[in-house]
Amino acid sequence: MSLLAEDTEAADLGLRWKPGFAALGPAFFTELRPTPLPDPYWVGRSEAVARELGLPTDWHESKATLAALTGSMPVAGARPIATVYSGHQFGVWAGQLGDGRAIMLGETDGGLEVQLKGAGRTPYSRGGDGRAVLRSSIREFLCSEAMHGLGIPTTRALCVTGSNAPVYREEIESAAVVTRVAPSFVRFGHFEHFAANQRDEELRALADYVIDRYYPACRTTDRFGGNAYAAFLEAVSERTAALLAQWQVVGFCHGVMNTDNMSILGLTIDYGPFQFLDGFDPRHICNHSDTQGRYAFNQQPNVAYWNLFCLAQALLPLIGDQEVAVAALESYKTVFPNEFEGRMRAKLGLTEAAEGDRPLIEGVLKLLAAGKVDYTIFWRRLSGYMADGNVEPVRDLFLDRAGFDAWLLSFSQRHAGTDRALAAELMRRSNPKFVLRNHLGQQAIEASQQKDHSGVATLLALLQTPFEEHPGADAYAGFPPDWASTIEISCSS
Ligand code: AMP
Ligand code: MG
């Protein structure tokens, strides 16, 4: 292909684009092109996301699409941009960051932004190469679809495409691109950026854009004397609280909860060294680079609240009153525990709240922690017990049998008069059989590195419907092997 041809040819993905975020103007982004990667190949695809985007059924059959999604060919009608943001990393102001390797193609007429993560350097790459390695791209692809399958708000991923182009990390790896999809990729850090630079006009334009597009009810609020920006902060805070409750309930550790990794829509975003807990350890640290445990599993709800304070600080020039800004964060303290308890109740097969639910929940978590009992397996087996009455598979998980029996007694008393079949069904829908454990991802990654991508597809199918039984797939629902605890996942990606 000649240079000229590359300049004029474009892949038609069958999508119609609208300005979206780019309508905010050049203060918010830089227009640029992805940097081509040679000889791209498919690694994984989510047909569910393809349908969501409204792509034609044969979308993946054209070489041009493969090239376009790997950054090697322009996309017809798209005006790619990289956006600027700042943020607090590990509790410290980090200054300007921005999309250092994610390039946004634009927004579809269906209201979804499409990003190519790993598509080359941008003005915000700082020292980085603008690339993403195959390993972390597969993890992000699988986990975003897994979270969606679990019913947890998240950015989505259409596909992973790979190339043999070398990428230098601790060792030489190969490059990949994740095509990510979300209604918006705006982060807390976007607001912090303009606030820190005292650019109030841009700050207001950004807030107005996000409110009008995603939080229109704030315009007609009677909260805070009709202060739309305070109502917006409160709405973000409540969505974040609900998200954190879902993470804690499913045993998901994000690993890098910097304010630039916090979605303004309350989505799970930027999958790095995340982990679904194996044995239940509230103090688990999944990020090998997090030596202080700032983002340990049990710290997450507090860290999110801390991050919301950063957002409140950034929105202060718009809200106009510090007391009002602080008041807008207040409901986090009730929404989080309410959501958490409600979802824990569902895991226990309980539809209505009753006095004594909190000690029942705390009691089981304490037991699980004391025995480092496998979190996902415990809940699924407890669901099985509710269905068939056989308690041994659950009991076998505990060394402290007496402790478990005592808890089970209070659990059974709480369920006196319950329709067991109904409760079992609720539990089955609330306690997944399949989560993306580190070792499962690792196995799929190692096969993919040898050009066998079937493991990615197998995992994807299980994780998209994680509450189903999937007969024959029990090997993916078992205890982690011993080597799983030796997997070290850092920020390097
Ligand atoms: P993260 O903590 O992975 O979300 O990334 C923090 C910041 O570093 C973001 O601004 C990223 O865009 C940027 N970044 C991470 N990896 C790279 C890379 N390989 N090249 C350029 N920028 C990167
Ligand atoms: Mg990030």
pLDDT digits (tens, 9 = 90+) for 358-367: 999 999 999 9
Residue 22 lies in a domain: yes
Judge whether 90 and 65 are in contact, CB under 8 Å.
no
Last residue of a domain, one of 274, 308, 342: 342
Return d(Cα 192, Cα 200) in angstroms, integer: 11
Is 70 exceeded by the pLDDT of residue 150? yes
- Quote the pTM value: 0.97
Is 80 exceeded by the pLDDT of residue 3? no
**Number of domains comprising the chain:** 3
Last residue of a domain, one of 182, 206, 235: 182
Last residue of a domain, one of 131, 157, 182: 182
For residues 244 and 171, membership in a common domain is answered with: no
For residues 260 and 176, membership in a common domain is answered with: no
For residues 227 and 88, membership in a common domain is answered with: no
Is 80 exceeded by the pLDDT of residue 256? yes
Is 60 exceeded by the pLDDT of residue 5? no
CA dihedral 118, 122, 128, 131 (to 10 degrees): 10
Return d(Cα 222, Cα 209) in angstroms, integer: 20
* CA–CA distances in Å: residue 342 to residues 151, 336, 350, 352, 359: 15, 10, 9, 8, 14
What percent of the chain clears pLDDT 70, i.e. is strictly above it? 98
Residue 353 lies in a domain: no
For residues 177 and 57, membership in a common domain is answered with: yes
Span from the CA of 261 to the centroid of ligand 2 (angstroms):
5
Span from the CA of 125 to the centroid of ligand 1 (angstroms):
7
Is 60 exceeded by the pLDDT of residue 475? yes
Assess whether the C-beta atom of 130 lies below 6 angstroms from ligand 1: yes
Residue 321 lies in a domain: yes
Return d(Cα 475, Cα 114) in angstroms, integer: 34
Span from the CA of 89 to the centroid of ligand 2 (angstroms):
10
> How would residue 8 be classed by pLDDT, with cut points 50, 70 and 90?
low
Is 60 exceeded by the pLDDT of residue 278? yes
Assess whether the C-beta atom of 120 lies below 6 angstroms from ligand 1: no
Is 80 exceeded by the pLDDT of residue 173? yes
For residues 400 and 328, membership in a common domain is answered with: no
Which of 7-16, 121-130, 143-152, 433-442 comes out lowest in average pLDDT?
7-16
Compute the mean pLDDT over every residue in the chain, rounded to the nearest whole number: 97
pLDDT of residue 388: 97
Q: What mean pLDDT do residues 197-217 have?
A: 98
Q: For residue range 64-89, what is the model confidence (pLDDT) as tens digits?
A: 999 999 999 999 999 999 999 999 99
Looking at the CA of 132, which ligand is closest? 1
Ligand 1, atom 12: closest residue by C-alpha: 100
Range 24-34 burial, b when 16+ CB lie within 10 A, else e = beeebbbebeb
Return d(Cα 30, Cα 123) in angstroms, integer: 8
Judge whether 299 and 293 are in contact, CB under 8 Å.
yes
> How would residue 186 be classed by pLDDT, with cut points 50, 70 and 90?
very high
> How would residue 491 be classed by pLDDT, with cut points 50, 70 and 90?
confident
For residues 237 and 94, membership in a common domain is answered with: no
For residues 315 and 245, membership in a common domain is answered with: yes
For residues 104 and 240, membership in a common domain is answered with: no
For residues 161 and 266, membership in a common domain is answered with: no
Residue-range definition of the domain harbouring residue 444: 362-493
